[in-house]
């Protein structure tokens, strides 16, 4: 995507992680009170992974597994905000800044609503945008399928990149 002529670029990201006992639950860089967290090589922040992949996708770049391989022992337990900042940096190096993002979390539990403001503030810092440019919704899967059986959490993300003036 070198020297893209486009003033705007759109990207989409998706991720899912299973629950695991004995781990903290980190969503959008915020630790949520929960009896269990998510399994993963990093901090397993499913929301931030979907968002980072959306930015990389909008930039025409490979997914986060390319930059942060899940077999690399040096990044075990990595704070996923570092992954997100890397995605923002990759987009910036190609002349793009973040416009707005829209995120959806899918989880039967725990309740995310009390934490939406804190998550928006945390992600805004990593993205370099105001919390008002971040849409964030949480929904259940209406008890359908693996998410409905409360086996994990999934996230969808859409991002708009704008060519820097
Ligand atoms: Mg992930």
Task: Count other C-beta atoms under 10 Å from residue 104's C-beta.
Answer: 17
Q: What is the pLDDT of residue 165?
A: 80
Residue 5 banded pLDDT, cuts 50, 70, 90: confident
Count Cβ atoms below 10 Å from residue 16 Cβ, excluding itself. Answer: 17
Residues 155, 82: Cα–Cα separation, whole Å:
18
Residues facing residue 17 across a β-bridge: 153
Predicted TM-score (pTM) of the model is 0.97
Span from the CA of 56 to the centroid of ligand 1 (angstroms): 14
The angle formed by the CA atoms of residues 87, 3 and 5, to the nearest 5 degrees, is 105
**C-alpha 15 – ligand 1 centre gap (Å):** 5
pLDDT band at 4, cuts 50/70/90?
confident
């Amino acid at each position: 995507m070198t020297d893209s002529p486009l003033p705007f670029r759109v990207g989409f990201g998706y991720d899912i992680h299973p629950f695991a006992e004995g781990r903290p639950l980190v969503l959008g860089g915020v630790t949520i009170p929960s009896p269990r967290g998510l399994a993963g090589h990093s901090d397993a922040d499913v929301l931030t992974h979907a968002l980072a992949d959306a930015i990389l996708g909008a930039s025409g770049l490979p997914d986060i597994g390319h930059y942060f391989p899940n077999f690399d022992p040096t990044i075990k337990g990595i704070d996923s905000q570092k992954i997100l900042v890397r995605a923002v940096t990759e987009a910036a190096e190609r002349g793009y800044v973040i416009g707005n993002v829209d995120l959806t979390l899918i989880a039967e539990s725990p309740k995310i609503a009390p934490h939406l403001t804190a998550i928006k503030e945390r992600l805004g810092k990593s993205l370099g945008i105001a919390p008002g440019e971040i849409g964030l919704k949480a929904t259940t899967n209406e008890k359908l399928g693996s998410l409905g059986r409360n086996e994990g959490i999934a996230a969808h993300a859409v991002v708009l990149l704008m060519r820097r003036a």
